[in-house]
Structure formats: structure tokens, C-alpha cells
Structure 1
């Protein structure tokens, strides 16, 4: 520990170094470290109960309004559209909220299936199947093949790549440039569907439009689904379609990509996709109402089937395209799968983290594409950190579905719908769930962080103290007071930053690093956090470079004795779950928690004010 006489010299050196750094970095708009706003709440049954109860009440009222055409998100045909939802958290073994709506217009229209939805009622998933196919791929084979060309794993495509009949970048896909990961993340640049639509061929042919020579006779089934009969027919038909883009140019949605992905996985594992589905998904997660293809007839008694099995598309067999859109499941089973993803039940934590990342931007700055995530910006408030919802939607016939996960909050929800207006119903229901539950769980997390971490930490021996508050503006923790050897650290930093002339204050915000380990005592846990030190100026220039957020660039930039200035370590008592001490590690000092925070949270001005990073 540094002796008291050295305290001022230590702080002067720290402040001077910080000031030197400040001269070399740009002003930036307020921004946090991404994906690290606060720990996911784990005490929703106690500290978060009021927030959960309020969200339940609000959601029920909004669903009632939506069914009567009063929702602010739009209207849908509620008389003939059923839906069911579950909201869940990794902090709870039971769902936080379950709701179903049985539309009156379908009650007497059913010829088969249930009239009242339960959590075990079977629905079609549509393209949510793509998400499960990717998950099975990762569980069975990991992602080590994702940068390999697909020609390494699908012989038919390797043959095409070497065939002189399939040369020419405009007319034929360069399969050697299409990787396994490109297929999973919709970046392969290939066509959407495996075969042409017989109905479209007939309609256009009847008005005299000449057929360009496309191969159509492999299409099986009825007019509902244009699917090649088998793998042989698929590789005769689909490769004749021209590429959409070069690979990795721009996302282009493709069902065929996931059929090819399943063929690759079959080659890697030596197992049929239907068997992989059973061995790596159904059996380990004990899924009791989940099916790879059209379920046996006896299942229809426990299924949601609008009107009949034909009109609803219940009995439409997706054949080899099942990995892209053919699966069936229930709310209970969907929650088992999605909580398994968030809890790293079958995948290693690092593999899950790699998977839950964007692979490409979209034209809309609030959306991105993953593998095969449809990533959307989560609801937030001005100044709050940006967080993202990892979603996957699905539509097939009279069925629609939605999966939405927020790893940062340990939160997710699933929506299933059947009827005449399911796409719009799922969108409206998902809007309600996101706008209601994300702020609620974020507030619950902030309240929990306040109880666990906020308060006064002191070391009487060195006359040192730190005050930590829950910052509602940033949905995280802030350090508002810091004394070391009786010296005001923030004021000293302010002196070097010209606090009286240019800057309004020094803001120090804390973000969890996700790093934790057992302490030497055996009954405590050390939890790592990182700080951002920012001087808040009254005004500054604005522009694309001046406004650039550089928080991620300056993490751990200043290091002394092998320890970064921004590293803080909380020690948490395993019995109470609350912090007992805090260490600013560069000072080799531990301060004991002497008081907990009051219920009031601290806020810092944000708005349009620019910030300069100082450490």
C-alpha cells in the first residue's frame, strides 16, 4: 500500500498522465462500454418483484387493448388470430409471464386441434427453425468449420465448382468463396428458395411470358410449397439460379442456405439431420412437443390448427427444407431451448458469446444480422446504454413465431401465433413485450446493483473513501466521490482538465467485465469492473469524427505496475450476495463497505453534452 506522504505525489502523477492522454483523444458523445451496462438481475423474486408485477399488469392491459384494436402499435385481425407468449429470465426456473389469446372467430371454425391454447400446445415455427438448426450445428460440431468453404463439406457443390458448365461469376455462384459461416449468417449471396413456384410458372405462362428455361420438374408436393423432391433434385434445380451477390457483400435472406448447411452437418457428423435433431436437441433438453417434420396424426389433438390441416399448412411437409422452416414446437419447449442458449447449457460460454454477435450491418442503423439472428436495438431511454435483442422470426402458412433474447439482461421471450393475421399479430405482441419488459428488467437490475454494490467504501487507516451510486441515466454504477489519503481524486483530475473554465465535472462510470473468481477466504467472490473517466465539457465541436465514441479504445490504456488505472474489484459475500469491499487495484488498496446506498439513484447530465476521455 502507498504511504500517506506519497498519496499526493501518486495522484498528481495519475492526474498528469490522464491529462496528457486527454490532449490526444477526441471529444465524444456520451457512450458506455457496449454489452456491459450492468450485471443481469438475479433476484427478480425479491428485489425485482415490484418491477415484474408492474410489467405483468401493463402487458395484460396492452394485450386486451390490442385484441380490441386499440394498441398504439397497430391493429390486427384479432377475431381469427390466436397467440401465446412466455417471458423468461435465467434468474428464474419458472417463466416470468405466460399469456394466451383464444380468438372467438376460430372457436367454432376448428375442425381439428385445440380450442384453448396451453403451454404444451403445438404450433409450427416457420423460419425459427433456422435458429434451431444453427444451434444444433454448434452443439454437434462447434464453429471451427465456419471459415471453411462449403465445398469442403458438400460434394455436390465441390463438383459444381470444378465443372466448366458452372463457370462465370454473373450466372453461377462461386461456391469456393461461400463459407459455412456465410450460409448461417445470410451472407452467402445465394438465391432465397430451392425451387420455382409452380403457381407462378403457371400464372406467368398463361399470359404468354416465355420460360427462360429454368428447371421446374423436380418440385414436389402441392401448390403450397415449392420444394425439390430430394437431395439429388435439389442440386439439379437450385444451382441453376443465379447468384444474388458475391459472398460477404450484403445480407440476402435464403432458405436454401440452411438446407445446404444441414447437408454439411450431416457430412461432418455422419448422421442424418433428423437424427441430429433428436440427439442434440430433443433428448438432452427433454422436449416433449417438438418435431422435425409433420407430427403423427395423434398430435393434432394437442395442436393449434386454424380451420383445418390443409388451409393452415399444418400438414405441409418441408422435406429436406425442414432445417430452414419445417419444425414444430410448444411454448414450454421453446423456453427450454432459449434458456439453454442463455445459460450455456450445451455450448461453452465463449462459443455462445461468439454466436451472439452481429455478422453484418443493415441499411437500418437499429438492426443487424447474425447467424441467423435478426438483431434489433432494444428499447432504451436518452443517455442509457445501447443494448440489443437477438431475435428470429418465422412465418409459414397460417403460423408465425418470434424468439427474442437479451443476453445482457438474462431476459427472453417467445411468441407463437396461428390464424389469419399472424405476421402482424406477432409484430404487435413483440413490440408490447419489448417496450414493457426490457425497461422493467433493466430497472430491476439497477435496483439490484444498488443493493449489491452501491454505498460508501472506506479505509480509515489511510483516510480514503469511495462512493458508488446506481446511475439511472446510464443504467449502471457511477463513482461520485473518491478520496485517497484525504485528497479529492476527482477534484485533482478536474484541476488538470481545467474544470473551472471548460469542464463541468469529472464523470466516472463502472462497467462489469464479466470476470469473477473465488476469493482466498473461500466464502467470497471477487468481481471485476472497469471504469471510464470522462471530463464533461460545456460545449464542443460536433461532427462524425468529433462525435466518435472511443470508450472501447481507452480501456486499460494507462497501466502502472502491470495494473490498469481503470480496474476496480468488488468482493462479494457469497452468503448475502452483497459487496463487502472495493479495491481500486492500481493503488493496492481495499476499502470496506461501510454504508449501503439510499433508494435514490445518482444521475449525471448527458443530453447532447460532449465528453473527453481522461483515463
Structure 2
């Protein structure tokens, strides 16, 4: 129970007396990285062991011809990439199916072999929008840029069950699958386009007349032009009201492309080329009609593999072709903010909505996985931003791990490609990779920051450590002006005593002087509090509420700055509120 602060000296005495000799309760870091992104890929023992384990795992996979793997039938490429300048490629693996008929297309899988992407195309589409126009218009209604929807916007007022409320659908809603519109019109999933009437009736559907106003006049055969698309789309009913829940829609990305064309006055294909493909030098990426000679085409037939199948105006939702190396370059560009500002990238890599699964969310248009990482004395969750796709004989996946500046690329092709095969490989990679990345980041942090920091003139000092069972950097034995700040800082923030104090430091992403001054945020925690695990509304992880809660002279006690010299070596540590400069010894 919270009690008012006792007099200053009594509180200080209680804080000092309560400092324990050992900490046993869990720490709660803020969302995001708990260490700086690893750059030690060439020297980390954890990374070296992970690469050896991955090599052994894929060697075994490629010799397994069971129904679940079908290595004899499926060709694939896997790449792990990073934003580290000296290790852009961390691991790569390419497998060519023994049954690959190379009479058409390339003869083997490698980083440059071209695959179809399916819905991974959507990342190119949103990246194009952001590179061209940013996200300042994402709260604008789509009716502002697409006149066909503006003309139909009022219908939802009188009949919301039969008409999408297009006036309430924003550009951001379309990028994040929150528009409530139907998944597809005519092109995919439409039984009257995919099967003949007799087949449909045989499985329980009623006969339809082509004169029925909702009978698709276009789709797969023939493709819809813009006029026919909107004429049909506006006859379909909404799935949900806007912003109620994520509901996957390909039509939204076709509409996004129309809107960007209206804003920029150029064809979407041109915008994609000039804002993404050309700047990133993606020589093995195609918006449509990729040459067969560049492709990995299973079955020896471009028709059977659906290599030639085009989506027309719905191409921004799933038509593109690319290679493993180009997709990795795309992911590396996103993580390093090479085309966007870091702030815009940070906004892009954030959730737009939750799903019914507690560890999953939806982004723009990412699928977000919240991956718990076990710590015996701390909580740690890694967020992965994932987009997968499937079309014909092909599947793909791109996963970004912003906490580490690392991503995973997977492209696959096979005439008997198992369902979810791209995710199965991602799961296998992640089980080996994520523990190694966390260990490498900790190794790096320990080498750079651990040690004792002293200001003898003011009788001030502290020790920086890392522990394998806790997140972030630890502050121990913190003394300021001869006072035990270890317990005092936690008491000031919590407003009560006694406490079992713990202080952990986490990177803020704030740097100056070319990285020679790096900001870190301290989390002051009382580890004597009972666990709230399993509670309905209480939480063990409310540390985000307490940042800068203790101020002195307008400066925050939890704000620390590491000082580096010209060689990149840490030489000092500053605390804003204490106006102290401690030298690393």
C-alpha cells in the first residue's frame, strides 16, 4: 500500500538500511532493445555457434525427403542479414531440389535466382508510398484521392450492412488491414471465376445468372480494369465497419496504388522503380512479367508454376518477383533507414492493431509476433515484423528484428510446396538465431560498458555489469556525494520505504557527436513487490509509466550518458540530475 513520503532524513535512512546483498525478483525492461544492436558478428562465440547449428540443421533438412519437408521437390534460399557494416550477410543457405527441371529458368538456387513473392509485394507497396509521400496523409480519408469511392461514400449511411463506409476509411486503415472491406474482388477466391457453374452447383451453391448485378464480369479471366473493378467492388458488402478488427484485404493495396498515382501523377510501377528499386539497386526484382530465364521455375513449365500469371491492377497486393539477395537488401534498407528518416521508420515498425492471439499484432501491413525470451530474473519480449506471401508454386517470407538490426529472408519454390513451409523454416531459424543474437548483444555490451566509474573529487562512483539472467546493463554500488544512491533513487521514485532496489540501463537511441555521446535510460525497480503474473488488470511491467518521474533542477535522475573517445572506447558516464561526470577506470 502506498504511503506518503516520510520526512526526508527518515526516508533516506530507511532506504539505506533496506539495500539487500542479493537481488532475486524479475526486472521489467521497456519495450524494445535491451542492449545496443550487435555488431560483433565476426567475433561473437554465440553467433559462431549459431551458424554451425544452422548449417547442421539445413544439411539434415536437405537430406530429409519426408512428406513434411519434401527436400527432393522444393528449392529454397534462406538468408540472415544485418545492418552491421562489416557483416551485411550473417548466414545464407541455398538448396536446389534434385527434381528441378531446368529446361526453363535458372539451374540452381542462389541469392540471385528470382522467385514470385505473392503478398510480400505489399511491403514494396507501402515502402514506395512512404518513400514517395511519407505518412502525413495516413489519417486522410481515401475518398480524398479516389473519386470512385467518394461518389459511393454516402451509401453506408442508409445501409451500412451493404456498403463500406468509405468516408471513414483512411489511407492508414488500408495499409493496416483495418478498412473492413472485402479481401478480393473477382481475381482471387471468386468461385465463379475459378470454377464453372456446374462445379459450383455440385458443391452446394445455387445457379447464378450472368445478369445478376453482383456476378463478377472480370477477375482472373479477363482481368479487371479500373472501371470494372470499382463497378464490381462497390456491389460487395463490407466484412466489418472500419477499424473494428484487422481483416485481410488485397483490394486495399490496389486502392492504395490508385491513391498514390493520384497524388504523384505517375503510374505506380514508375513510382516503385524510382523510389525503391533503383535507389536500392535491386537488379533481380520485377513488378510484373519477370523474364523466365531469371526465375527458378519448378515443374519445367511457367504456366503450371503460375510464373506467367499476372494480377493486373491488383499487382500492388501480390504480383512481384524478387531474389533472396534483393529481399535482404530491402530489409536491410528498412532497418537502417536508408530511404526514410529514422523517425518515420520507427512509426512504420509499430503495431496498428492487436489480434485475438496475445502474442500477435498487425502493422502496416506487417504481421507482428511478440516472442517471449526466457530470463530467470527478468522479462524480455522481442518483436518481429513479418510479411509472408504465396502464389502458384512459390512462397516467401521477410522477418525484421529491429532490436538487433537483423532480418530473415526465405524464398521457396516447389510443385508440392507444403502449407506454411515458409513459416516452418522461419521457426527453425528463429529457435537458433534469437538466443545467439541476445547473447552476442550482451557480450558486446559487457565489453564496451562494464567496469567501475569514479568521480573522486565528489566521492561518487558506481559499477556497470551485465548478467545472463537479467536484461540490460546493471548499476551496482551507486554512491553520489558520499550518499548511497542505489536505494535512494528507488525510494524517491516509488514514494515509500523500505525497498529492494534494482537499477538497469537500456539504450534510448539518442546519440550526439557522431555516436560519441550515447543516452541510456535507467529503470528504478523495487524487487520486493509481489508478482502480478496472472492478474486481470495489474502488471509486473509498468516501467514505461515511471520514466523521468524523479527530477532535480529540471533534469531527470534516470537519464545517463556514456561518453566515448575518438577510438570508440567508453571513457566516462554522466548523470543529468546529479550534474556528475564519472571516469571509467
* TM-score normalised by the chain length of structure 1: 0.85
Partner of 2:440: 444
Check the 8 A contact 1:524/1:573 in 2, yes or no. Answer: no
User: Separation in 1 of the partners of 2:471 and 2:456?
Assistant: 31
User: 2:182 — aligned with what?
Assistant: 191
Check whether the contact 2:26–2:527 (CA below 8 A) recurs between aligned residues: no
Q: For residue 4 of structure 2, what is the aligned residue in structure 1? A: none
The whole-number CA distance in structure 2 between the counterparts of 1:18 and 1:565 is 16
After TM superposition, give the deviation of residue 217 of structure 1 in Å.
Answer: 4.6
Query: In structure 1, what is the equivalent of residue 425 of structure 2?
Result: 429
State the alpha-carbon separation in 1 of the partners of residues 219 and 490 from structure 2.
73
* Per-residue deviation, 1:68: 4.4
Tell me how far apart the structure 1 counterparts of residues 302 and 350 of structure 2 sit (CA, whole Å): 38
Which residue does the alignment assign to 1:64? 59
Shift in Å at residue 424 of structure 1? 3.1
Counterpart for residue 266 of structure 1: 261
- Asked whether the equivalents of residues 489 and 524 of structure 2 are also in contact (C-alpha less than 8 Å), the reply is no
- The match for 1:343 is 336
CA deviations 1:125-165 (Å, max 9, x no partner) are 1000011100001101111111011100101111122469x
The alignment status of 1:486 with 2:509, answered yes or no, reads no
| Aligned match for 1:313, one of 303, 306, 325 | 306
Distance in 2 (CA, whole Å) between partners of 1:497 and 1:174 is: 48
Partner of 1:600: none
Shift of 1:492: 5.1
Residues 194 and 228 of structure 1 are in contact (CA less than 8 Å); yes or no, is this contact kept in structure 2? no
Q: Of residues 219, 240, 246 in structure 1, which corresponds to 2:241? A: 246
Match in the other structure for 1:607? none
User: Aligned partners of 1:141, 1:181: CA distance in 2, in Å?
Assistant: 13
1:606 corresponds in structure 2 to none
Tell whether the 8 Å contact from 2:185 to 2:219 is kept in structure 1 after alignment.
no
For normalisation by structure 2, the TM-score amounts to 0.89
Is the contact between residue 90 and residue 411 of structure 1 (CA under 8 Å) also seen in structure 2?
A: yes
In 2, the alpha carbon distance for the partners of 1:92 and 1:438 equals 20
- In the TM superposition, what are the counterparts of 1:287-306 in structure 2 within 5 Å? 287-295=282-290, 299-306=291-298
- The alpha-carbon distance between structure 1 residues 540 and 410, as it changes in their structure 2 partners (threshold 3 A), is closer
CA distance in 2, matches of 1:259, 1:17: 64
The whole-number CA distance in structure 2 between the counterparts of 1:246 and 1:201 is 32
2:35 alignment partner in structure 1: 38
- Indicate which of 398, 401, 408 corresponds to 2:396: 401
Say which SS state the counterpart of residue 94 (structure 2) adopts.
Answer: strand
Secondary structure, counterpart of 2:35 in structure 1: coil
Q: How many residues align?
A: 557
Instruction: Work out which of the residue numbers 88, 91, 96 in structure 2 matches 1:97.
Output: 91
Alignment check: 8 A CA contact 2:372 2:380 kept: no
Aligned runs of 1:42-121 on 2, under 5 Å?
42-46=39-43, 48=44, 50-69=45-64, 75-92=68-85, 94-104=88-98, 106-107=99-100, 109-121=101-113
**Any conservation in 2 of the 1:39–1:512 contact (CA below 8 Å)?**
yes
Residue from 205, 230, 236 that aligns with 1:209 = 205
Contact 1:443 1:475 in 2 (8 A): no
Question: Partners in 1 of 2:62 and 2:413 — Cα distance?
Answer: 14
2:227 to 232, 242, 245: 232
> Matched residue of 1:80: which SS?
coil
Higher mean displacement: 565-574 or 37-46: 37-46
Which residue does the alignment assign to 2:509? 514
Q: CA 1:70/1:38 → structure 2, altered by over 3 Å: closer, same or farther?
A: farther
> How much does 1:118 deviate?
1.4
Q: Which moved more, 1:458-467 or 1:306-315?
A: 458-467
Checking the alignment, whether the CA contact within 8 Å between 2:532 and 2:538 is kept in structure 1 is yes
Match of 1:329 among 322, 332, 351: 322
Task: Note the residue ranges of structure 1 that are not aligned, 5 or more in a row.
Answer: 1-9, 20-27, 595-615
Query: What's the C-alpha RMSD, in Å, of the aligned pairs?
Result: 2.9
- The separation in 2 between residues aligned to 1:545 and 1:207, in whole angstroms, is 48
Which segments of 5 or more consecutive residues in structure 2 lack a partner in the other structure?
1-6, 17-24
**CA 1:155–1:416 in structure 2 vs 1: closer, same or farther (change >3 Å)?**
same
Separation in 2, partners of 1:208, 1:444: 57
